[in-house]
Each structure stands twice: as structure tokens, then as C-alpha cells.
């Protein structure tokens, strides 16, 4: 198997992050009203929304990096992308649980998004993984 294609990790990660941004917005609209009400006071400025968008892009890069790392062990394809998405979702969920533990977001508000974000993040990872190809090793 080839080496990690860092240019593809970055570009496919941006695709993944963009798809994740769209799908997470849909999940927030349909399942996250309580969550949005809990965090609304801190979301007044456009700078916060821009920051969140860029963190979604960074998360997408992370998700595709996970996929690239898993490929040599699990093989390329949707199954590996699903596992990378599940791992990424797990990390995102742990991060979100800190807001609950600190008292910024009520448990029911966070729980309402926990399950809907799993298929969204898996679909986003599948979208980026579709375009990923490993670097070709040069032979002399």
C-alpha cells in the first residue's frame, strides 16, 4: 500500500468538513432546538459562526486522516470510512459532553443531537473518502 497522500487528506478533508457542516446544520434544525436555545447567548456574532465552520473543516480533515490511517489495516472503501466516521463521532461526542459536565448545556439538549449526528458524520466521512487516493510510491 502507498503512503498517506497529505494533499488528498487536506482536500478530501475539506469536502468532508463542508458536508459535515451542511448535515450538522440540518441535524441542528430538526433535532437541536433545545441545544441552540442553550447556546444562543454566545452565538450572537458572525465571528462565532465562522469559527464553528472552520472547526468543522478541521474536523473533516481529521476524519479523512483517520480514514487514511485505517486504510492499510482495513482496506479502502466504505466499511473503513464508516469506522473512521464512528471514531470521529466518538471524539466529537466526548468533546460535547464537556459542555454538559460544565453546566453550559442541559443533558436533554445534548442528548437530542447525539444520535442524529452519528449518521451525519458517517455520511460526511463517506463523501470525503470517496475521493481519497493514497500517494503513489515512485520506483526507480
Grid coordinates 461526542 are at which residue? 93
Q: How large a percentage of the chain has pLDDT more than 90?
A: 73
Q: Do 46 and 7 touch, CB atoms closer than 8 A?
A: no
Answering whether pTM is above 0.95, one says no
pLDDT tens string 37-63: 888 766 667 788 899 899 999 999 999
How confident is the model at residue 39, as a pLDDT? 81
With contact defined as beta carbons under 8 Å apart, do 64 and 129 qualify? yes
Q: What angle do CA 136, 57, 111 make, to 5 degrees?
A: 125
Nearest-angstrom CA–CA distance, 126 and 120: 10
Helix H segments across the chain? 6-31, 33-39, 46-74, 78-101, 107-131
Amino acid at each position: 500500500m502507498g503512503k498517506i497522500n497529505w494533499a488528498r487528506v487536506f482536500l478530501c478533508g475539506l469536502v468532508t468538513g463542508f458536508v459535515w457542516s451542511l448535515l450538522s446544520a440540518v441535524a441542528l434544525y430538526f433535532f437541536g432546538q433545545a441545544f441552540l436555545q442553550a447556546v444562543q447567548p454566545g452565538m450572537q456574532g458572525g465571528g462565532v459562526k465562522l469559527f464553528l465552520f472552520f472547526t468543522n473543516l478541521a474536523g473533516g480533515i481529521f476524519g479523512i486522516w483517520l480514514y487514511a490511517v485505517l486504510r492499510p489495516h482495513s482496506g479502502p472503501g466504505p466499511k473503513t470510512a464508516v469506522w473512521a466516521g464512528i471514531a470521529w463521532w466518538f471524539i466529537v461526542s466526548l468533546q460535547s459532553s464537556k459542555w454538559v459536565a460544565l453546566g453550559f448545556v442541559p443533558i436533554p439538549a445534548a442528548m437530542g443531537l447525539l444520535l442524529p449526528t452519528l449518521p451525519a458524520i458517517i455520511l460526511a466521512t463517506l463523501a470525503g473518502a470517496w475521493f481519497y487516493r493514497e500517494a503513489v510510491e515512485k520506483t526507480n
